[in-house]
Amino acid sequence: MRFDNYDTEGFYDELFEAPGKPRPGAQILVERIHSLSDGDVTRRQIAAEQALLQMGITFNVYGADGGTERIFPFDIIPRIIQGGEWEVIERGLRQRIEALNLFIHDIYNEQHILRDGIIPEDIVLSATSYRAVCSGLTPPKGIWCHITGTDLVRDKDGTFYVLEDNLRCPSGVSYVLANRQVLKRTFPIVFHKSNVRAVADYPSHLLETLKYLAPDTQSAPVVAVLTPGIYNSAYFEHAYLAQQMGVELVEGSDLVVDNGFVCMRTTTGLQRVDVLYRRIDDDFIDPDVFRKDSMLGVPGLFEAYRTGRVALANAPGTGIADDKVIYAYVSRIVKYYMDQDMILPNVPTYICAEAEDLAYVLEHLDELVVKAANESGGYGMLVGPHSTREQQKEFAERIKSAPRNYIAQPTLALSRAPVIVDGHFEGRHVDLRPYILYGKDIFVMPGGLTRVALKKGSLVVNSSQGGGSKDTWVLSE
Amino acid sequence: MLSRDANSMYWMSRYIERAENVARTIEVNSHMTLDLPGEEHTQWGPLVTIAGASDLFSTRYDEANQKNVIHFLAFDRDNPNSIISCLGAARENARAVRSSITSEMWEQINRMYLYVNETSTNARVFESPHEFYTRLKLGSHLFLGITEVTMTHGEGWHFCRLGRALERADQATRLLDVKYFILLPTVDHVGLSVDDIQWAAVLRSGSAFEMYRRQYGVIAPDKVVEFLLLDREFPRAVLYSLNRAEESLRAITGSLEGTFQSVPEQRLGQLRSDLTYMRVEEIIASGLHEFLDNFQKRLITVGDAIYDNFFSLRPVSGIHP
């Protein structure tokens, strides 16, 4: 299999500067692939898929009788990022997370940013992710967003943009670790020669981050991962992280609040838990405070958190910072709290709540992507260039009736990377989700999850809509 | 450790052991059937009977022939004790404790399940099932070895061992019962029929043939029963298994030898001690099948007590009125 006929078709390609001309860090890989016999690349792809299946990194295809489990599609050609490029991303993410944390804390406490008129008050207070019950709280060590996954994309000219912040329960990091484990076996020689920065220490950093949140009085704090259970689509990840950290994986029914403390039911009685890495959304963690019908949570958990008897990661209420309208204000947030210019730019965004932007959006619906503030997974979205007049009209009405709920962005020409398709290489669009941990320091994992839209021409990288993944190599400089 | 995790580890091991033993039961019968040409139909029905699944079987199949019974015992997902159901359950339990067991253990269970799942759609397995049983047996042994050398021998490991030992004791009694049903249809006949080949098949299916030979030489029914039930050193014998179960139970509770502080310890101790001081002649005289039947019932009460004592999520007082 060769790259001789691989066509970048005018897109920014992650591995090739131009057809036939690999980027500096990709030369070793391309040469190696060219040295392999025809069937060899395909065999390695099959072996990698087998390995993932045996590791049990699968999700269920519903409606089928027991037998059908699939792996999350994986392409063995890595995406390679130069060390210098990464250095900018890393600084940008640190800055962004620090600023967003300050923002969340301010919102639930003094609300300076609202009083100074940087963000209209009603935009924050009317957000469905705003949790009034968190007002006046200072979480342990003042940190709200301990684990963040920030979605980045590259445009035609190669510039990285932040597309979305995920500050609630971002998932996918286990795929980064598993993909890497598999790819080291797939291309051991290239991997060794390329000087790729390691990601395997992520669980250690995560554990350190979580332990840092425990009350100082606990010399050997007990950490646990709280999962909705084995039927959750991210269960593999919950179990994997707990296993890699060497901590208990608990379900809501394993926990009970006893004398104000959160405890696990063990074979020898109740044992106190100091820190919970909860992979259950705010709405479901405590039926006493949030949704009454939640079967997944623990009654009394929020009260234990409020009184400082258990730490929760991420803290309840962080969702306010990944509201799609708030996103548009992040550069102002960075400037306001840190007096710095934002290092990693946002995708240019029109805020429909602002009159001038609204007028522009309504006139250019056919070329913009319109997003609803509180929806995710591609719902409540209008992709202008792919929409009908009817749909545009309907959206115009929706926007006019609730401008606060909408933002709009130009359609980007996302960068591409080569993937194996029927025995040859074709370009597909990719994004990148790096993971950031905020504990004693801010740690940015070198790399992240590269998601690929496997359908030809598609821009949708979500696994539910035909997305797959690749290993991401950040090279040491 | 978490009660839920302890429960899952216990059942993970039990189900693996059960799957292995169902395979062994089918294997011993395949061998015996080869030695009894012409009596095919009457020879497969008993396997369903001793599995306690006659009613379920008759609603799903019209005839207890080799193909139907093997399908029912190995690949029928509606039979909760079929090999595929057992491995599926073992895998779900392993998935639930995936964070507390080693990756190697999980991957081995996953591999076994994927193998059986794949084989279930392959018609050739009914014609030459031997390879299938062999791979299952080896798979189960490999899992045991992996558990031995990768998992800390702490509380979780003891719950695994406890589940496995109890299941093995239960299954060993069922294996003996196969022989009973096939050759000795009524109690009156106990001890009257001796068939070297068939008892040898029973021993082989318990991987006990060579060890038995070294110890007793000739094959005699009462000696086979003595070996499989009462031997203290043979690892598939019932008494051996009960001794290991008791050890693990004490390791979990911290009780001293010869003492107990909970219902499961008491019940298991009584059952083990009855067996310790039993002679095989007494067992045969009182009727082997009756003895085995009674033993299985008492073993079930041990399992119930383990559930009540360690796994059930008891309400915690004074929190949420």
- Tell me: the pLDDT tens digits for B215-242? 998 888 889 999 999 999 999 999 999 9
Share of chain B above pLDDT 70, in %: 89
- Check pLDDT > 80 for residue B317: no
Domain assignment of residue A345, yes or no: no
Question: HSE on the CB side for B136, CA within 13 Å?
Answer: 31
Q: Confidence band (pLDDT; 50, 70, 90) for A262?
A: very high
- Check pLDDT > 80 for residue A59: no
- Check pLDDT > 60 for residue A361: yes
Judged by CB atoms closer than 8 Å, whether chains meet at B2 and A266 is answered as yes
- Whether A338 contacts chain B with CB within 8 A: no
Q: Confidence band (pLDDT; 50, 70, 90) for A457?
A: confident
Judged by CB atoms closer than 8 Å, whether chains meet at B99 and A225 is answered as yes
**3 state DSSP class of A137:** coil
Comparing C-alpha atoms, which of A259, A203, A256, A247 is closest to residue A435? A203
- Check pLDDT > 70 for residue B195: no
Q: Which residue has the higher pLDDT, B25 or B166?
A: B166
Q: Confidence band (pLDDT; 50, 70, 90) for B65?
A: confident
| Pair A127, A69 in one domain | no
pLDDT of B187 reads 40
Specify the residue for token string 């043979």.
B234
Question: HSE on the CB side for B319, CA within 13 Å?
Answer: 21
| Pair A328, A270 in one domain | yes
Mutation for A interface: B2, B9, B91, most A CBs within 10 A? B2
Give the residue-averaged pLDDT of A127-137: 93
- Check pLDDT > 60 for residue A64: no
Rounded to a whole number, what is the distance in angstroms from the first to the last CA of chain B?
Answer: 27
The verdict on pTM exceeding 0.80 is: yes
- Check pLDDT > 80 for residue B36: no
Specify the residue for token string 């995790």.
B5
Structural domain of A368 = 352-410
Span A369-378, pLDDT tens digits: 998 876 655 5
Domain assignment of residue A169, yes or no: no
Share of chain A above pLDDT 70, in %: 96
Chain B residues interacting with chain A (CB cutoff of 8 angstroms): 1-6, 77, 88, 92, 95-100, 103, 106-107, 110-111, 114, 117, 155, 252, 310, 313, 316, 319-320
Domain assignment of residue A343, yes or no: no
Domain assignment of residue A6, yes or no: no
Give the residue-averaged pLDDT of A417-436: 95
b/e B271-290 (16+ beta carbons within 10 angstroms → b) = bbeebeeeebeebbeebbbe
Q: Confidence band (pLDDT; 50, 70, 90) for A383?
A: confident
Mean pLDDT in chain B?
Answer: 87
Tell me the nearest-neighbour CA distance from A32 into chain B, angstroms. Answer: 31
Contact in structure between B163 and B14 (CB atoms under 8 Å): yes
Residues of B whose CB is below 8 A from A230: 92, 95-96
d(C-alpha A470, C-alpha A429), whole Å: 12
Give the residue-averaged pLDDT of A349-361: 92
pLDDT of A61 reads 58
Judged by CB atoms closer than 8 Å, whether chains meet at B110 and A270 is answered as no
d(C-alpha B120, C-alpha B71), whole Å: 8
The single-letter code of the amino acid at B255 is S
- Check pLDDT > 80 for residue B174: yes
d(C-alpha A400, C-alpha B21), whole Å: 69
**3 state DSSP class of A292:** coil
| Pair A64, A188 in one domain | yes
Q: Confidence band (pLDDT; 50, 70, 90) for B186?
A: very low
CA angle A25, A26, A28 (to 5 degrees): 95
- Check pLDDT > 60 for residue A469: yes
Judged by CB atoms closer than 8 Å, whether chains meet at A253 and B313 is answered as yes
d(C-alpha A211, C-alpha A373), whole Å: 34
Contact in structure between A420 and A73 (CB atoms under 8 Å): no
Structure tokens at A352: 């429909």
Mean pLDDT in chain A?
Answer: 92
| Pair A115, A188 in one domain | no
Q: Confidence band (pLDDT; 50, 70, 90) for A121?
A: very high
DSSP annotation of A175 reads H
CATH number of the domain within which A381 lies: 3.30.1490.270
pLDDT of A282 reads 92
Phi, psi dihedrals of residue B43, rounded to the nearest 5°: -90, -15
- Check pLDDT > 50 for residue B316: no
Tell me the nearest-neighbour CA distance from B153 into chain A, angstroms. Answer: 16
pLDDT of A379 reads 63
- Check pLDDT > 70 for residue B145: yes
pLDDT of A373 reads 76
- Rounded to the nearest 10°, the torsion over CA A285, A291, A296, A297 is 30
Comparing C-alpha atoms, which of A137, A121, A96 is closest to residue A302? A137
Comparing C-alpha atoms, which of B204, B169, B210 is closest to residue B29? B204
Judged by CB atoms closer than 8 Å, whether chains meet at B98 and A243 is answered as yes
> Long-range contact list for A121-127, CB < 8 A, 24+ apart?
A122/A404, A123/A325, A123/A326, A123/A353, A123/A404, A124/A320, A124/A326, A126/A404, A127/A320, A127/A323, A127/A325, A127/A326, A127/A373, A127/A374
| Pair A423, A453 in one domain | yes
Q: Is the peptide bond before A314 cis (omega within 30 degrees of 0)?
A: yes
pLDDT of B121 reads 84
CA-based nearest residue in chain B for residue A250:
B2
Structure tokens at A315: 């803290």
pLDDT of A15 reads 97
Domain assignment of residue A1, yes or no: no
- Check pLDDT > 80 for residue B10: yes
Contact in structure between B87 and B109 (CB atoms under 8 Å): yes
Give the residue-averaged pLDDT of B7-14: 96
Tell me the pairing of strands A311-313 and A368-372. Answer: unpaired
The single-letter code of the amino acid at A267 is T
Structure tokens at B286: 């009182």
CA-based nearest residue in chain A for residue B106:
A55
Judged by CB atoms closer than 8 Å, whether chains meet at A239 and B95 is answered as yes
Say which of B2, B88, B107 has its CB closest to residue A66.
B88
A104-108, B20-24, B120-124: which range is least confident on average? B120-124
- Check pLDDT > 60 for residue B183: no
Q: Confidence band (pLDDT; 50, 70, 90) for B9?
A: very high
Phi, psi dihedrals of residue A249, rounded to the nearest 5°: -105, 115
CATH number of the domain within which A113 lies: 3.40.50.11290
DSSP string, B97-128: TTTTS-HHHHHHHHHHHHHHHHHTT-THHHH-
Say which of A56, A265, A267 has its CB closest to residue B155.
A267
Judged by CB atoms closer than 8 Å, whether chains meet at A53 and B155 is answered as no
> Long-range contact list for A91-94, CB < 8 A, 24+ apart?
A91/A343, A92/A160, A92/A162, A92/A342, A92/A343, A92/A344, A93/A150, A93/A344, A93/A434, A93/A436, A93/A444, A94/A436, A94/A442, A94/A444
Q: Give the domain ranges of chain B.
A: 1-151, 153-313
- Check pLDDT > 60 for residue B315: no
> How many folded domains does chain A comprise?
3
- Check pLDDT > 60 for residue B319: no
Domain assignment of residue A8, yes or no: no
Contact in structure between A83 and A476 (CB atoms under 8 Å): yes
d(C-alpha A109, C-alpha A122), whole Å: 16
Query: Is the Cα torsion angle B61, B64, B68, B73 positive or negative in sign?
Result: positive
| Pair A67, A186 in one domain | yes
- Check pLDDT > 60 for residue B264: yes
Tell me the nearest-neighbour CA distance from B256 into chain A, angstroms. Answer: 17
Contact in structure between A149 and A5 (CB atoms under 8 Å): no
pLDDT of B207 reads 87
Give the residue-averaged pLDDT of B103-115: 94
d(C-alpha B174, C-alpha A187), whole Å: 51
How would you list the strands of the sheet with A311-313, edge to edge?
A: A248-250, A223-226, A275-278, A311-313
Span A206-257, pLDDT tens digits: 999 999 999 888 889 999 999 998 888 888 899 999 999 999 999 999 999 9
CA-based nearest residue in chain A for residue B312:
A267
Q: How many CB pairs under 8 A join A and B?
A: 78
Contacts of B137 (CB under 8 A, 6+ apart): B20, B23, B24
d(C-alpha A99, C-alpha A341), whole Å: 11
Residues of A whose CB is below 8 A from B111: 54
Share of chain A above pLDDT 90, in %: 77
Task: Compute CA distances A298 → A241, A256, B70, B317, whole Å.
Answer: 21, 6, 46, 15
Specify the residue for token string 């037998």.
A67
B41-55, B101-115, B187-201, B276-290: which range is least confident on average? B187-201
Domain assignment of residue A468, yes or no: yes
Domain assignment of residue A11, yes or no: no
A63-72, A319-328, B94-103, B196-205: which range is least confident on average? A63-72
Structure tokens at B310: 């360690």
Q: What is the CB neighbour count within 10 angstroms for residue B67?
A: 13
Which of residues 297 through 336 in chain A touch B, CB cutoff 8 A? 299-300
Comparing C-alpha atoms, which of A284, A225, A287 is closest to residue A254? A225
Comparing C-alpha atoms, which of A172, A137, A161 is closest to residue A317? A137
| Pair A216, A273 in one domain | yes
Q: Confidence band (pLDDT; 50, 70, 90) for A302?
A: very high
Structure tokens at A75: 């392409």
pLDDT of A459 reads 82
